[in-house]
Amino acid sequence: MPYDDESTLPTDTAPADALAATAAQARSAVLERLVSEDPGRFRVLTGDRPTGRLHLGHYFGTLHNRVRLQELGVEMFVLVADYQVLTDRDVAEDPAGFVEELVLDQLAAGVDPARAVIFTHSAVPALNQLLLPFLSLVSVAELNRNPTVKEEIAHSRQSSVSGLMFTYPVHQAADILFCKGNLVPVGQDQLPHLEVTRTVARRFNDRYGNGTAVFPEPEALLSKAPLLLGTDGTKMSKSRGNAIALAADADETARLIRGARTDAERHITYDPARRPEVSSLVLLAALCQGRPPQQVAEEIGAAGASGLKKCVTEAVNDHFAPIRARRARYAQDRSYLREILREGNERANAVAETTLDEVRRAMNSRC
Ligand code: TRP
């Protein structure tokens, strides 16, 4: 996901990756059309690592898009990737708490638990069991080449790299294929992972499918995620302390925006290349109000940085008021929250067991 703290865009994007990204963009436009024409053809699998509260970058980058797809009528599985948290830390800080916070953020944004299956890795054993046959289908050299994993290792706070770090893209294949997801909304950094999933699906079908496709080859739906910067002008990220949480209240939002970095030019314009900090604030207001950033900048104009901050604060607090209220309502009823997860896990388990049976049958008939 484009705004995730753990996954950053590879800085040394090779020409081949750039080419793949362009191709994925073109394909995504086609997929968008297919989705609106026939949403029933698609099953979306999407997910996040539970590492704390989501912020506005996550909201505009992924949550918003999830809800949009849901409203178009696409079936959706939403994974809380709790095992994936262990790729770069020995123990999750507050596993249960973080899972609940993440689910709250989804529900607040509008993910509907009656339609979407919300579930966690750790509650779906049959999903995890797919990892074993899937691991046999990829080479160590392939695992070693994954640019997103390389980047994560470079930024890891751990002194040694665990086996899970190398193999989690294959685990991610299990995340997607257990429910035969065929559409995965992602940011560019996730494209190499999706390629692993496609490879696993293809090789499984070739080796064990007996002429039929057990798994679909899922496609990436690249998000047109606008890049929101944090209040210090660098990428918005929990770990940098520059993020505005979805769950923040109006006062905290005002305080954070008041402290946001701007520049010395008084007149407000929208010019992301030359004025990244100011433009990101303008963009944030524009996203909240659903209008073009140029228009927002023009209106503020001579009111300068203080006018800009006032406008952004109001825009954020207005837009998020109902979302935050919904979050607070769900947060008050923890037993209902746990019930949502229990039901999601139950549905995910049923699907995973069916798939695992199918995998066993396909494999046994070949050994
Ligand atoms: N890797 C994703 C992230 O960085 C989370 C994730 C886990 C995921 N499994 C997935 C995303 C499967 C899409 C599909 O947050």
pLDDT computed for residue 10 by the predictor: 45
- Does a structural domain hold residue 146? yes
- Does a structural domain hold residue 145? yes
Q: Are residues 222 and 271 in the same domain?
A: no
Nearest-angstrom CA–CA distance, 90 and 150: 19
- Tokens describing residue 279: 């433009």
Q: List the strands of the sheet with 43-48, edge to edge.
A: 117-120, 75-80, 43-48, 183-186, 219-222
Spacing, Cα 47 to ligand 1 middle (Å): 5
Q: Are residues 144 and 179 in the same domain?
A: yes
pLDDT computed for residue 5 by the predictor: 41
Q: Are residues 218 and 344 in the same domain?
A: yes
pLDDT computed for residue 21 by the predictor: 82
pLDDT computed for residue 8 by the predictor: 41
Q: Are residues 180 and 264 in the same domain?
A: no
pLDDT in tens, the chain (367 residues): 443 443 444 445 567 777 888 898 999 999 999 999 999 999 999 999 999 899 999 999 999 999 999 999 999 999 999 999 999 877 767 888 999 999 999 999 999 999 999 999 999 999 999 999 999 999 999 999 999 999 999 988 788 899 999 999 999 999 999 999 999 999 888 999 999 999 999 999 999 998 999 999 999 999 877 789 999 999 898 888 999 999 999 999 999 999 999 999 999 999 999 999 999 999 999 999 999 999 999 999 999 999 999 999 999 999 999 999 999 999 999 999 999 999 999 999 999 999 999 999 999 865 4
- Does a structural domain hold residue 277? yes
- Does a structural domain hold residue 137? yes
Return the CATH number at 270. 1.10.240.10
- Does a structural domain hold residue 4? no
Nearest-angstrom CA–CA distance, 37 and 3: 29
Give residue 69's domain range.
Answer: 15-227+333-362
Q: Are residues 35 and 128 in the same domain?
A: yes
- Tokens describing residue 82: 């709790």
pLDDT computed for residue 66 by the predictor: 96
49 lines ligand 1 (CB under 6 A): yes
- Does a structural domain hold residue 238? no
pLDDT computed for residue 366 by the predictor: 52
Q: Are residues 268 and 205 in the same domain?
A: no
- Does a structural domain hold residue 285? yes
Nearest-angstrom CA–CA distance, 186 and 50: 17
pLDDT computed for residue 223 by the predictor: 81
Q: Are residues 131 and 182 in the same domain?
A: yes
Q: Are residues 168 and 268 in the same domain?
A: no
Strand partners, 222: 186
Residues ≥6 apart with Cβ < 8 Å to 205: 212, 213, 214, 215
Spacing, Cα 323 to ligand 1 middle (Å): 24
Q: Are residues 20 and 94 in the same domain?
A: yes
Spacing, Cα 145 to ligand 1 middle (Å): 18
Q: Are residues 119 and 153 in the same domain?
A: yes
**Overall domain count for the chain:** 2
197 lines ligand 1 (CB under 6 A): no
Return the CATH number at 348. 3.40.50.620
pLDDT computed for residue 11 by the predictor: 45
Q: Are residues 110 and 214 in the same domain?
A: yes
- Does a structural domain hold residue 235? no
Q: Angle at CA 287, nearest 5°, toward 281 and 293?
A: 65
